[in-house]
Amino acid sequence: SSGAHVAALVIGTGYGGSVAALRLAEAGVNVHLIEMGQAWDTPGSDGRIFCNTREPDYRSYWLRTRTKAPLNYFLGFPIDRDIPRHTGVLDAEEFGGITVYQGRGVGGGSLVNGGMAVTPKRENFAAVLPSVDPGEMYGTYYPRANAALGVGTIDPAWFDTTACYQYARVGRKHAQRSGFPFVFVPDVYDWDYMKQEAAGTVPQSALAGEILYGNNHGKKSLQKTYLARAAATGRVTVSPLHRVTSVTPAAGGAYTVVIEQINTTGDTVATKTVTADRVFFAAGSVGTSKLLVKLKATGALPALNGEIGKGWGDNGNVMCGRANHLWDPTGKLQSSIPCCGIDNWAAGGAFAEVAPLPTGIETFASFYLSITNNPHRAQFSWNAAAGRVELNWQTAWKQPSIDMARTIFDKINSKEGTIYRTDLFGVYKIWGDHLTYHPLGGAVLNKATDNYGRLTAYPGLYVIDGALIPGNTTVNPFVTITALAERNIERIIAADL
Ligand code: FDA
């Protein structure tokens, strides 16, 4: 409530915020988590908390009146539809040159993501976080993060036989025939639960097209892992539908935090002011960057350094589909949880996940999300006239990503005698190059902060999320975000509290 004083206030409940909350609470600190999205703990009138990708409803998108599906065309026809404006779970946030998809709610991106939980190869780590000792990450913090997140890998024997991964087996066959290394990708989905879905003994989630707008069963989101453990300490309070708008120094070394309470159509219903001894920015790469850039430019935190807002990247995300021959069907039942990829990072700068197209019909398409070594980095800046933070990413900056993805798919197409699909992202458009699922950077470790995420001009302010990572993790990012948060909070608790 307004006027309250809290020891530690955490802005956002994704990976960084959840790690901070658990470890601070275990150290005896009372923690208040502020989350602008919903709690996602109450079923709708259909008995489900989340909707699926085939029937997006009011629960799907964050304050939009029309869906904005990442794959927005099928057979050349647009598939987006009108929906009621609501604080739904997936935000398609539009900047000038790119749409950035993010999760909204208690659990952040863990509510909407594919759960692919990948630790970068050690030889690539120096490029991911140049100022961090790989020995401590691979010896301590990656194992700690993987264990706490509940990461596991598909049973290879089941993979070889189940109908729901026929699409992935086609992907493997094509990759191997072209000589590319094929790898299983670990995930936080409960693989035993998925086997029971396939056997028809439990309610379906991965096998019912649930992913982008949330999973009702099977996926170990942060609500089931870090946040459940944090709640069990009895020291953690969560305020959903509350949005932090300002943080400024207060008397005695504390901070004044302004918070707007919103309703489910996005209107502000109350404004609250609290003080906090410590504030952790865990609003995600975009959320944390937007807050810090605005607070620096508007004079709330003027001493933040000149690196704030810089070093933002898209993890090189680019999507494409290939048209298979009629004798190579990918199956009408497709698990929405990807489980494998094609690793051409060393030779071509691309790691491509074999992704599902869970439409419920045979598409004869192979679909891929590639993570590439795109060199471009963008910057957030404050537009005073418009009163908003902007990002200077250019759509044309995706070209290196397309070129890197082509090192895989041009070769496969040539070997298989196949072509790219041109009907998935528009009319005659091959590349899904307008988006990212993996925003990273904007408050880069050891640049905008010290080497542990401290905003050193303001003792007691910290960044602890994907904003710390300078734009690329070579694989899917959340295991690295979690492991880095584990490393940093351990040091902060030992040295600052
Ligand atoms: P994260 O974005 O998780 O959390 C930030 C939270 O802060 C959000 O809940 C937000 O609502 C809240 N917030 C923002 N501003 C606020 C404010 N002012 N006040 C209060 N709250 C505020 N990664 C991966 O490794 N494997 C995968 O399979 C996938 N797949 C995937 C699919 C899709 C569709 C998406 C959108 C993303 C992925 N990702 C992924 C990416 C992954 O989910 C992402 O990298 C992490 O969630 C980022 O974690 P953070 O802790 O940085 O922020």
User: In sequence order, what are the residues at sequence separation of 6 or more whose Cβ sits closer than 8 angstroms to the Cβ of residue 229?
Assistant: 22, 148
Alpha carbon of 161 to ligand 1 centroid (Å): 33
**Which of the listed residues 19, 36, 213 should we mutate to test ligand 1's pocket, taking the one with most ligand atoms within 8 A of CB?**
36
Give the per-residue pLDDT at 359: 87
Unique residue bearing structure tokens 């952040």: 108
Q: What is the mean pLDDT of residues 374-394?
A: 98
| Residues paired with residue 350 on neighbouring β-strands, in sequence order | 344, 372
| Overall average pLDDT of the 71-82 stretch | 86
Query: CB–CB of 212/109 below 8 Å?
Result: no
The Cα 483–Cα 463 span in angstroms is 14
Token pair for 481 = 């975000």
Mean pLDDT of the residues in the chain: 97
pLDDT at 415: 98
Calculate mean pLDDT across residues 245-260: 97
Catalytic residue among 32, 217, 242, 438: 438
Nearest CA to ligand 1 atom 34: 113
| Nearest-CA residue for atom 31 of ligand 1 | 113
Residue 486 phi, psi (nearest 5): -60, -45
Q: Are 37 and 213 in contact (CB under 8 A)?
A: no
Q: What's the confidence (pLDDT) of residue 78? A: 87
What residue type is assigned to position 227 of the chain? L
Would you call 353 a catalytic residue per the annotation? yes
Q: What is the mean pLDDT of residues 250-277?
A: 97
Range of weakest confidence among 238-242, 313-317, 356-360, 363-367: 356-360
The confidence band for 126, taking pLDDT boundaries of 50, 70 and 90, is: very high
| Residue 443 near residue 389 (C-beta atoms within 8 A) | no
Catalytic residue, candidates 35, 197, 210, 353: 353
The confidence score (pLDDT) of residue 94 equals 98
Question: Active site includes 93?
Answer: no
Least confident residue range of 71-75, 362-366, 371-375: 71-75
pLDDT band at 406 (very low <50, low <70, confident <90, very high): very high
Q: Which atom of ligand 1 is nearest to the CA of 34?
A: 20
**pLDDT category, 447, cuts 50, 70, 90?**
very high
How close is the Cα of 107 to the center of ligand 1, in Å? 8
pTM of this prediction exceeds 0.95: yes
Helix axes 399-416, 166-177, angle to 10 degrees: 90
Ligand 1 centroid to Cα of residue 395, in Å, is 22
Q: Indicate whether 461 pLDDT > 90.
A: yes
pLDDT of residue 2: 78
279 lines ligand 1 (CB under 6 A): no
What pLDDT is attached to residue 171? 97
Q: What percent of the chain has pLDDT over 90?
A: 95
pLDDT digits (tens, 9 = 90+) for 174-213: 999 999 999 999 999 999 999 999 999 999 999 999 999 9
The pLDDT value recorded for residue 445 is: 99
Distance CA 360, CA 215 (A): 17
Is the distance from the beta carbon of residue 439 to the nearest atom of ligand 1 less than 6 Å? no
**Closest residue by CA, ligand 1 atom 33:** 113
- Ligand 1 centre to CA of 336 (Å) is 19
Angstrom distances, CA of residue 115 to CA of 212, 215, 304: 11, 10, 34
Which pLDDT value is given to residue 426?
85
Q: What is the 3-state secondary structure (H, E, C) of 214-248?
A: CCCCCECCCCCCHHHHHHHCCCEEEECCEEEEEEE
Tally the residues of the chain.
497
For residue 458, what pLDDT is reported?
Answer: 98
ipTM over 0.90: yes
- What gap in Å lies between CA 456 and CA 141, rounded to an integer? 24
Among 9, 15, 279, which residue has the most ligand 1 atoms within 8 Å of its CB, making it the best to mutate? 15
The residue type found at 197 is E
Atom of ligand 1 at shortest range from CA of 288:
15
In short, whether 15's Cβ falls inside 6 Å of ligand 1 is yes
Whole-number Å distance, alpha carbon 344 to ligand 1 midpoint, is: 26
Cα 263 from Cα 279, distance rounded (Å): 24
Q: Please say if the pLDDT value at position 427 is more than 90.
A: no
